Structure 1
Amino acid sequence: MLLPNWPMQHVVGGLSTTRAYGCSNGPFTGLNLAYHVGDSAVDVDANHHQLLNYLPCPAHWLTQVHGAEVVEVNCEQPMYPWPKADALYTRLRQQPLAIMTADCLPILVCDQQGLEVAAIHAGWKPLVKGIIGNTLGIFQSSPKQLVAWLGPAIGAQQFEVGGEVKSQFCDFHKAHTNDFIEQGNGKYLGDIYAIARRQLNLLGVGQVFGGEYCTVSQRELFFSYRRDGQTGRMASLIWRN
Structure 2
Amino acid sequence: MITSKLLAEAEGLSHGFSDRAGGESAAPYASFNLAYHVGDDAAVVDANHALLAQRLGYAPERLVHMRQIHSDRIVRCTPEMGFHSRPECDALMTDLLGQPLMVMVADCTPVLLYDPRRRAVAAVHAGRAGALKNIVGKTVAAMHDAYGSDPADLLAVLGPSIGSCCYEIGPEVAQEVQAAGCEGALSLRDGRTYLDVNAIVVKQLEAAGLTAGHIDLPGSCTACRTDRFFSYRAEGGTTGRQAGIIMLK
In the superposition, the TM-score normalised over structure 1's length comes to: 0.93
Return the letter of the residue paired with 2:69: V
For 2:57, the equivalent position in structure 1 comes to: 55
Match of 1:109 in 2: 113
Q: How far is the alpha carbon of 1:80 from its aligned partner?
A: 2.4
Counterpart in 2 of 1:212? 219
Runs of at least 4 residues off by over 3 Å: 76-79
Which digits, 9 at most, give the CA deviation of each residue in 1:166-203, with x for residues without a partner? 33233223xx2221112344x41111211110111111
Partner of 1:202: 207
Contact 1:87 1:120 in 2 (8 A): yes
Q: Which residue of 1 aligns with 2:31?
A: 30
CA distance in 1, matches of 2:94, 2:48: 25
Q: CA 1:47 to 1:77, structure 2 compared with 1: closer, same or farther past 3 Å?
A: closer
Write out aligned runs for 1:103-142 (5 A): 103-113=107-117, 115-139=119-143, 140-142=148-150
Task: Kindly provide the CA deviation profile for residues 137-174 of structure 1, in whole angstroms up to 9, marking residues without a partner as x.
Answer: 2212121111100101001200111232233233223x
Query: Residue 181 of structure 1 aligns with which residue?
Result: 187
Q: Between Structure 1 and Structure 2, how many residues are aligned? A: 238
Corresponding position: 1:2 with 2:2: yes
Contact map agreement 1:18 1:222 (CA 8 A) in 2: yes
> For 1:218, what is the secondary structure of its paired residue?
coil
Q: 2:124 aligns to what SS in structure 1?
A: strand
Change (3 A) 1:69 1:142: same
Q: Which runs of 5+ in 1 are unaligned?
A: none
Residues 213 and 34 of structure 1: is their aligned pair in 2 closer, same or farther, counting only changes over 3 Å?
same
Give the conservation status (yes or no) of the 8 Å contact 1:64–1:85: yes
The match for 2:196 is: 191
User: Which consecutive unaligned segments of at least 5 residues does structure 2 have?
Assistant: none
Tell me the equivalent position of 1:145.
153
RMSD: 1.6
Give the superposition deviation at 1:78.
5.2
Q: Does residue 223 of structure 1 match 2:224?
A: no
Identity in percent: 35
Structure 1: which amino acid aligns with 2:81?
Q
The 1:199–1:166 alpha-carbon spacing in structure 2 relative to 1, beyond 3 Å, is: farther
- How many angstroms apart in 1 are the aligned matches of 2:232 and 2:7? 31
Q: d(CA) in 2 for partners of 1:215 and 1:19?
A: 10
Query: Counterpart of 1:170 in structure 2: which amino acid?
Result: Q
Secondary structure of 2:6 counterpart: coil
Contact kept, 8 Å, 1:74 with 1:91, in 2: the verdict is no
What is the distance in 1 between the residues matched to 2:242 and 2:150?
A: 30
The amino acid across from 1:91 in the alignment is D
Q: TM-score, normalised by structure 2?
A: 0.90
CA contact under 8 A between 1:5 and 1:210: conserved in structure 2? no
Query: What's the counterpart of residue 16 of structure 2?
Result: 15
